[in-house]
Amino acid sequence: MVVQLPPCPATLRAIQPYLKIAQEHDEREPVISYWCRLYSLQTALTIDKKSDEAKGFLLSLMEWLEKTKRAAQSNESITSEVAAQAYLENYAMKIFVWADNMDRSSNFNKNVVKCFYNSGLLMDVLTTFGELTDEITQNRKYAKWKATYIHNCLKKGVTPTPGPSSEMTDEEKELNEFMDFDVDKNDPAESKVPPPSASLPSHPVVNDSSSIHPTVPPRLPNPSGFVPYNPQPSPSSEIPQSIPPGSTSVSKNQKLNPELIAKAQKLCKFASSALNYDDVPEAINNLQKALQFTETLKNKQDHLRQSSSTTRPQSSTRASNFAARSLTSFEPGYVRFINDRRETVRAENPSLPFVEITRLLANEWNQLPHDRKQMYLDAAEQEREKYVQEMAAYKQTEAYRLFNEHKLKKKMKTSTTTTTDDENDKDVDVPVSDIPIFTEEFLEYNKNREAELRQLRKSNTDLEQQNAILEKHLDNMKQAVDKLQIETLQRKTSNNLLQQHLQKMRTSFIEQFTSIPLPGSNETPTSTTIDQYVSKLHGLLQENPNSALFNKVKNAICSMDLAF
């Protein structure tokens, strides 16, 4: 089906790439075509909705969207945003994976460039449904950069480097070259290569043995810059093969990774969307991958349970040094998160100073979901409580008594070198039980502080939830305003058409009734007196409906062109 739309105005040049994708998918993927044009409409309304050219184009685009939606009432991927989001995300990722596999295999051509570029644009379209996840945001940035990078290398006759690069930068100006990108026009040497629509199926196939995300080949080192989807488990999600003896604390490598849970849920959603389109193999593939993620989570939970149930042996060396630790030396949840993420952020931003990296981590902590944040807080609380228990047990040991005696002798020796008798008495008479870090009052003080911090964290979480609700309400209000503006434009167009029709009828009436003067006054209708003429004529016909005047009026009306 060929879509007839007026040319896109120059003021709306920014939406041309999305309109081009929609045009390419009109026949084989109407869902992609619909949402690309809807995204183009929403974007265009923020750019130019006042010029005559833009108004005409936007009205035509709105009319097409309304007709398409009415005709596709049975298509859930058009009527339901949840299904549409899953459909578009799955489609964009399959194009991205295909291009990434070709890139890592050193197969560089215009098709790879276009698939990278189109996948980045389709990820832009996903913002129609709300804020993008961190994974989609990173892959969108990587796809656009990779398209620009390979395009420039081919243009300069340089062989591109496969996979991610540590020199990845934002090339916004060069990316604008793709506004008018065309495989056949840009490079005649590549004209023999079939376009992506011919070399790719409507849903590019991903091998069952591969991950849903592009893999990083072993031959490539980990770059210091950005890395897109990586199927290898991150350090925070790996399952340790063995538990070192003498360790009861949960290490960073043993923390449950919420990203695994999110990926499993997303794969289930993709499977549901595939079943809506009778794509049973794809649904089975996604469900199998979701099951693998779930089994990984279960194994990790069993590992954590085993590690928390082990006991750490008390060595004499450890016992003698145990008192050197204090409760204030433990890392709270915030510090644990920073230490866990600092190296990763530093690798992603090698040019940033230490202070800026800390500021980025602080913002990341503030935006961290409650469940992930609670994971760090719970781990810190467990370690603190475990230390309190071990300290109580340690105080009953012989090592603790020897340590106190050594500490007291050291203080007494120091006091002999002072010149103040009061200070000597003070140092000698201090009971061992009053050392601040070992007093019950100090432990109680720390418990109270932790309780206050938990209350503050709860209040902060409530405020964040309220802020999220207000932001959602603001987005809804903006959408309502945009909808009202669209309806206003439609009403204005309808009113203009009715006004034109009314003027046409008045002109036709004057032409037909000029030859019918009113009896007595011989008055004929004009553009200024037509309303008075019609009122008087109506009165005369009511007084004498069988007169010759009635037949003349009837014949004149029959001769009028009343078509709308």
Residue-wise pLDDT for 370-396, tens only, equals 888 888 888 888 887 887 788 888 788
Answer for the pair 267, 190: CB distance below 8 angstroms, yes or no: no
Does residue 517 register a pLDDT over 70? Answer: yes
Structure tokens at 190: 């590549």
Residue 282 lies in a domain: no
Q: Judge if 122 and 61 occupy the same domain.
A: no
Measured between alpha carbons, how far is 359 from 236 in angstroms, rounded to an integer? 22
Residue 144 lies in a domain: yes
* pLDDT of the residue at 169: 53
Residue 506 lies in a domain: no
In terms of Cα–Cα distance, which of 551, 524, 554, 552 is closest to 536? 524
pLDDT tier, 152 (very low <50, low <70, confident <90, very high otherwise)? very high
- The tens digit of pLDDT for each residue in 17-29 reads 999 999 999 888 9
Q: Judge if 59 and 112 occupy the same domain.
A: no
Residue 149 lies in a domain: yes
Mean pLDDT of 126-141: 90
Residue 130 lies in a domain: yes
Q: Judge if 170 and 92 occupy the same domain.
A: yes
DSSP three-state, residue 108: coil
pLDDT tier, 184 (very low <50, low <70, confident <90, very high otherwise)? very low
Structure tokens at 52: 């005559």
Does residue 297 register a pLDDT over 90? Answer: no
Q: Judge if 113 and 71 occupy the same domain.
A: no
Structure tokens at 15: 């939406």
In terms of Cα–Cα distance, which of 548, 374, 526 is closest to 454? 374
Q: Which residue has the tokens 């047990």?
A: 393
Does residue 322 register a pLDDT over 70? Answer: no
* pLDDT of the residue at 57: 87
* pLDDT of the residue at 477: 94
Q: Judge if 108 and 73 occupy the same domain.
A: no
* pLDDT of the residue at 368: 87
Number of domains comprising the chain: 2
Domain-ending residue, one of 79, 105, 130 = 79
Q: Judge if 115 and 188 occupy the same domain.
A: yes
Q: Judge if 189 and 150 occupy the same domain.
A: yes
When comparing pLDDT for 315 and 351, which is higher?
Answer: 351
Answer for the pair 270, 206: CB distance below 8 angstroms, yes or no: no
When comparing pLDDT for 264 and 493, which is higher?
Answer: 493
* pLDDT of the residue at 370: 86
- 335 φ/ψ angles, rounded to the nearest 5 degrees: -70, -35
In terms of Cα–Cα distance, which of 224, 226, 157 is closest to 187? 157
Handedness of CA 9, 10, 11, 17 (dihedral sign): positive
Those residues with Cβ within 8 angstroms of residue 202's Cβ, 6 or more apart along the chain or in another chain: 28, 29
Does residue 189 register a pLDDT over 70? Answer: no
* Alpha-helix runs per DSSP H in 2-51: 16-24, 30-47
- CATH code (residue 168): 1.25.40.270
In terms of Cα–Cα distance, which of 428, 429, 426 is closest to 411? 428
Question: DSSP character for 389?
Answer: H
- The tens digit of pLDDT for each residue in 414-450 reads 666 554 555 444 444 444 444 444 456 666 777 788 8
Residue 47 lies in a domain: yes
Q: Judge if 108 and 164 occupy the same domain.
A: yes
Answer for the pair 94, 206: CB distance below 8 angstroms, yes or no: yes
Measured between alpha carbons, how far is 186 from 195 in angstroms, rounded to an integer? 13
Q: Judge if 125 and 67 occupy the same domain.
A: no
Structure tokens at 512: 């037909």
Domain-ending residue, one of 61, 79, 97 = 79
Mean pLDDT estimate for the chain: 74
Whole-angstrom CA distances from 467 to 65, 150, 479 are 33, 42, 18
Measured between alpha carbons, how far is 271 from 294 in angstroms, rounded to an integer? 15
Mean pLDDT of 132-161: 90
Structure tokens at 273: 């969307």
In terms of Cα–Cα distance, which of 45, 48, 67 is closest to 9? 48
Domain-ending residue, one of 22, 49, 79 = 79
Q: What is the CA radius of gyration of the chain?
A: 37
Structure tokens at 389: 């228990």
DSSP three-state, residue 221: coil
Those residues with Cβ within 8 angstroms of residue 102's Cβ, 6 or more apart along the chain or in another chain: 108, 111, 112, 115
* pLDDT of the residue at 123: 94
Find the domain containing 46 and state its range: 10-79
Ramachandran class of 464: left when φ > 0, alpha when ψ lies in -120 to 50, beta otherwise: alpha
Answer for the pair 68, 84: CB distance below 8 angstroms, yes or no: no
- The tens digit of pLDDT for each residue in 42-100 reads 999 998 888 888 888 888 888 889 888 988 888 888 888 888 898 999 999 999 999 99
* Alpha-helix runs per DSSP H in 395-529: 398-415, 421-428, 440-513
* pLDDT of the residue at 253: 42
- The tens digit of pLDDT for each residue in 405-422 reads 887 877 776 666 554 555
Residue 291 lies in a domain: no
Q: Judge if 71 and 89 occupy the same domain.
A: no
Q: Judge if 75 and 176 occupy the same domain.
A: no
Does residue 339 register a pLDDT over 50? Answer: yes
pLDDT tier, 473 (very low <50, low <70, confident <90, very high otherwise)? very high
Q: Which residue has the tokens 């993008």?
A: 132
Measured between alpha carbons, how far is 239 from 251 in angstroms, rounded to an integer? 11
Structure tokens at 454: 């938990």
Answer for the pair 184, 191: CB distance below 8 angstroms, yes or no: yes
Residue 170 lies in a domain: yes
Q: Judge if 151 and 194 occupy the same domain.
A: yes
In terms of Cα–Cα distance, which of 91, 100, 95 is closest to 115? 95
Does residue 306 register a pLDDT over 70? Answer: no
